[in-house]
Chain A
């Protein structure tokens, strides 16, 4: 069994990729992802993993060269954040359409306007519909575990999709946390060698990325949707196996003290741990609070959500990005639509919190629960604690 070490999470993420013995890393530096990039380079240049590190000139080229390498049959890792992820935006849906199981480590950061390097989810949300599988880690341990799981899920012949592992910028990558690392042998057993379906090689020439006319484009989109939807089975299967091997449980939606909960918070990412503290404090005060933590953002776990909200009167959904002029935050609009056809469903309120690194403390979550108890806010969604 592996060992427990104190390590900066960005470095730990790169170490997790190293345990997966990637063949190619293609990364462009950006705050707060840079330590991931730097440590991947250290690993390659120290010869700890036999791989090529491409020092690309932009994020667009990072994902493009990652695609080229992946198309030859290599196991490829990349990493980015914020503007970098948006810059990759053109290439994101092509990666999933070509079914290239690249793993991307994302240190989530607010997108510009005004420029801001701190954490929220406004970078990954515009990428929601690009056909990638999206994991959301809550702490350093989950970053490491999910990175290894991401290769296994993405490369599964039933899936063959790229996977991004989201870690809240600064809150996770820049923290030193105690982390259990599995042994190399354990990872080797869990993650078999990647066997690509088709590769760019003259021994068996193929054409990749061909032109799809209207007669075939829609079918291609449907095929991708079916693949993403069906991948949830493999994600759950892999997470079960992980639990059996390493004792750490992963679920698409993780419930915390919701069995008899009246009001439940919903979080995604690192704020889950702060929200847990708030729930515990509220429980001490006699408030029946609970918490749902979303770990799998795409494919969205509809069935698991429906099960998890049973008996809950009010859901206080927190979002860390805004859909301007839309229905509120993207997480909330997803949950509302997921529960629309349920005959018994909770009332839903939506708080937009932690934008651009704005601190959210346990007391804030407690206040959100107290106010949500009414089942309604004065506005369809509220920028919690925001002036103006």
Chain B
């Protein structure tokens, strides 16, 4: 009998007993780094590393995470880690994979699988690192790329990226007297990765840690390229209170703004249930200074877009078939 299910409170009381069953106690992204209070990205990386485990090499694009974790002569990383530049995490990671594969095949290193994992922010992934990512994924390297999307160039001072939401105020797309913030819709990176025919693509959030870690583990197992798009709160850039980091992630799901799903072998599946009656977009934007200037009409425009995107996703979830299923139909 599962005591935890019957007495949810006992999970907290017996945390030391239950937690190790859910998540590794080992730390690969150590405390003492210099991330801001309430940084969703640092939290997500810690969880990702726990899910990946020891046999991993991390390639980090330039950005907050490299800055806060690798101030020489200190490092927060107990996993092998490399940072080269801003646009090339995917390329470097693909080289890591090629190197490890060749050396293993030639018997020059231990004969066991070590996964190459490249990480970058929205700028390093969706903008300047886009070409390198597309190349690395298309070439079919056995590697995982995780984009930690906090929706602007936070490391350089909250400048707009192609991950910035419509009308959000950033330092290069400010809410001015004439132009009210970012004028275009956020690029749908997960869909672009799906179009690369990857065996596994998922969206994730540290507000749903078990879902996120499960996806990382799944992606790790895949022999080939995989991509996870992880939305992370940036209290500094979103102008939100540090303690709302997790709550904002949950609201992004409950409003349908950032649904959590995976696309395995071409088949879409929601991994975290979204309430039948989705919360209004208003609930998500109200706690964030970057949306403070929005008028009710503007929020309505966003609401309509979110509704349409949600329905589009639902069509894919309800109708898509995996390539394997499609093959089975043809064979009949």
Contacts A26-B98, A209-B84 given; does A56 touch B135 at CB 8 Å: yes
Q: Is the CB of A94 within 8 A of B110?
A: no
In the assembled complex, A55 has its CB within 8 A of some CB on chain B = yes
Q: Considering the complex, which residues of chain B in the window 46-103 have a beta carbon less than 8 Å from any beta carbon of chain A? A: 54-57, 59, 66-67, 70-73, 75, 77-85, 87-88, 90-103
Residue of A nearest to B141 (CB): A54
Among A55, A203, A211, contact of B110 (Cβ-Cβ < 8 Å): A203
Among A50, A90, A94, contact of B105 (Cβ-Cβ < 8 Å): A50
Contacts A60-B91, A60-B132 given; does A69 touch B96 at CB 8 Å: yes
Number of interface residues of A (CB under 8 A): 44
In the assembled complex, B106 has its CB within 8 A of some CB on chain A = yes
Q: Considering the complex, which residues of chain B in the window 220-239 have a beta carbon less than 8 Å from any beta carbon of chain A? A: none
Contacts A50-B106, A205-B81, A212-B72 given; does A68 touch B92 at CB 8 Å: yes
CA distance A67 to B99 in the complex (A): 10
Q: Is the CB of B108 within 8 A of A73?
A: yes
Among A58, A66, A74, A98, contact of B102 (Cβ-Cβ < 8 Å): A74
Q: How far is the CB of A193 from chain B (nearest CB, A)?
A: 8
Q: Considering the complex, which residues of chain A in the window 57-101 have a beta carbon less than 8 Å from any beta carbon of chain B? A: 57-58, 60-61, 64-74, 76, 90-91, 94, 98
Q: Is the CB of A216 within 8 A of B91?
A: no
Contacts A72-B99, A205-B78, A216-B72 given; does A64 touch B85 at CB 8 Å: yes
Q: Considering the complex, which residues of chain B in the window 134-149 have a beta carbon less than 8 Å from any beta carbon of chain A? A: 134-136, 138-139
Q: How far is the CB of B34 from chain A (nearest CB, A)?
A: 10
List A contacts of B134 (CB < 8 A): 57
Q: Is the CB of B85 within 8 A of A91?
A: yes
In the assembled complex, A333 has its CB within 8 A of some CB on chain B = no
Among B54, B66, B87, B95, contact of A202 (Cβ-Cβ < 8 Å): B54
CA distance A308 to B59 in the complex (A): 47
List A contacts of B167 (CB < 8 A): none
Q: Is the CB of A23 within 8 A of B99?
A: yes
Contacts A61-B91, A61-B135, A64-B88 given; does A201 touch B67 at CB 8 Å: no
Among A60, A74, A199, A210, contact of B83 (Cβ-Cβ < 8 Å): A210
Contacts A52-B98, A52-B102, A73-B103 given; does A94 touch B85 at CB 8 Å: yes
Among A50, A55, A205, A210, contact of B139 (Cβ-Cβ < 8 Å): A55
Q: Is the CB of A23 within 8 A of B82?
A: no
CA distance A203 to B106 in the complex (A): 18
List A contacts of B136 (CB < 8 A): 61
In the assembled complex, A238 has its CB within 8 A of some CB on chain B = no
Q: Is the CB of A72 within 8 A of B57?
A: yes
Q: Is the CB of B135 within 8 A of A213?
A: no
List B contacts of A50 (CB < 8 A): 102, 105-106
Q: Is the CB of A200 within 8 A of B80?
A: yes
Contacts A66-B95, A210-B75 given; does A57 touch B66 at CB 8 Å: no
Residue of B nearest to A194 (CB): B108
In the assembled complex, B131 has its CB within 8 A of some CB on chain A = yes
Residue of A nearest to B107 (CB): A50
Q: Is the CB of A91 within 8 A of B84?
A: yes
In the assembled complex, A386 has its CB within 8 A of some CB on chain B = no
Residue of A nearest to B143 (CB): A68
In the assembled complex, B36 has its CB within 8 A of some CB on chain A = no
In the assembled complex, B184 has its CB within 8 A of some CB on chain A = no
In the assembled complex, A206 has its CB within 8 A of some CB on chain B = yes
Q: Is the CB of A61 within 8 A of B132?
A: yes
CA distance A60 to B55 in the complex (A): 28
CA distance A11 to B144 in the complex (A): 35
- Contact count A vs B, C-beta below 8 Å: 174
Q: How large is the interface on B (under 10, 10 to 19, 20 to 34, 35 or more residues)?
A: 35 or more
In the assembled complex, B42 has its CB within 8 A of some CB on chain A = no
CA distance A355 to B91 in the complex (A): 34
CA distance A54 to B55 in the complex (A): 23
Q: How far is the CB of B6 from chain A (nearest CB, A)?
A: 40
In the assembled complex, B109 has its CB within 8 A of some CB on chain A = yes
Q: Is the CB of B71 within 8 A of A210?
A: yes
CA distance A74 to B99 in the complex (A): 6
In the assembled complex, B114 has its CB within 8 A of some CB on chain A = yes
Among A60, A67, A216, contact of B87 (Cβ-Cβ < 8 Å): A60
Q: Is the CB of B131 within 8 A of A208?
A: no
List A contacts of B55 (CB < 8 A): 202
Q: How far is the CB of B191 from chain A (nearest CB, A)?
A: 20
Contacts A54-B94, A91-B84, A207-B81 given; does A202 touch B99 at CB 8 Å: no
List A contacts of B79 (CB < 8 A): 202, 205
Q: Is the CB of A51 within 8 A of B102?
A: yes
Residue of B nearest to A69 (CB): B99
In the assembled complex, A292 has its CB within 8 A of some CB on chain B = no
CA distance A203 to B109 in the complex (A): 10
Q: Is the CB of A201 within 8 A of B114?
A: yes
What are the interface flags for B120-159 relative to A under an 8 Å C-beta threshold, 1 for contact and 0 otherwise?
Answer: 0000000000011011101100000000000000000000
Q: How far is the CB of A10 from chain B (nearest CB, A)?
A: 23
Residue of A nearest to B116 (CB): A68
List A contacts of B92 (CB < 8 A): 64-65, 67-68, 71
Contacts A58-B132, A206-B80 given; does A211 touch B95 at CB 8 Å: no
List A contacts of B101 (CB < 8 A): 52
Q: Is the CB of A205 within 8 A of B77?
A: yes
Contacts A64-B85, A201-B57, A202-B79 given; does A70 touch B99 at CB 8 Å: yes
In the assembled complex, A161 has its CB within 8 A of some CB on chain B = no
Contacts A64-B132, A69-B98, A90-B85 given; does A74 touch B103 at CB 8 Å: yes
Of B55, B71, B91, B136, the most chain A CB neighbours within 10 A belong to B91
List A contacts of B87 (CB < 8 A): 60, 90
Q: Is the CB of A202 within 8 A of B80?
A: yes
12 contacts between A and B (CB under 8 A): A24-B99, A57-B132, A72-B95, A72-B103, A72-B109, A73-B109, A90-B85, A202-B79, A209-B70, A210-B75, A211-B72, A213-B72
Binding site for B on A (CB under 8 A): 23-24, 26, 50-52, 54-58, 60-61, 64-74, 76, 90-91, 94, 98, 199-203, 205-213, 216
Contacts A61-B136, A210-B83, A216-B73 supplied; 14 other A-B pairs, CB < 8 Å: A50-B102, A54-B94, A57-B135, A67-B92, A91-B88, A200-B57, A200-B80, A201-B80, A202-B55, A203-B110, A207-B70, A208-B81, A210-B70, A211-B70
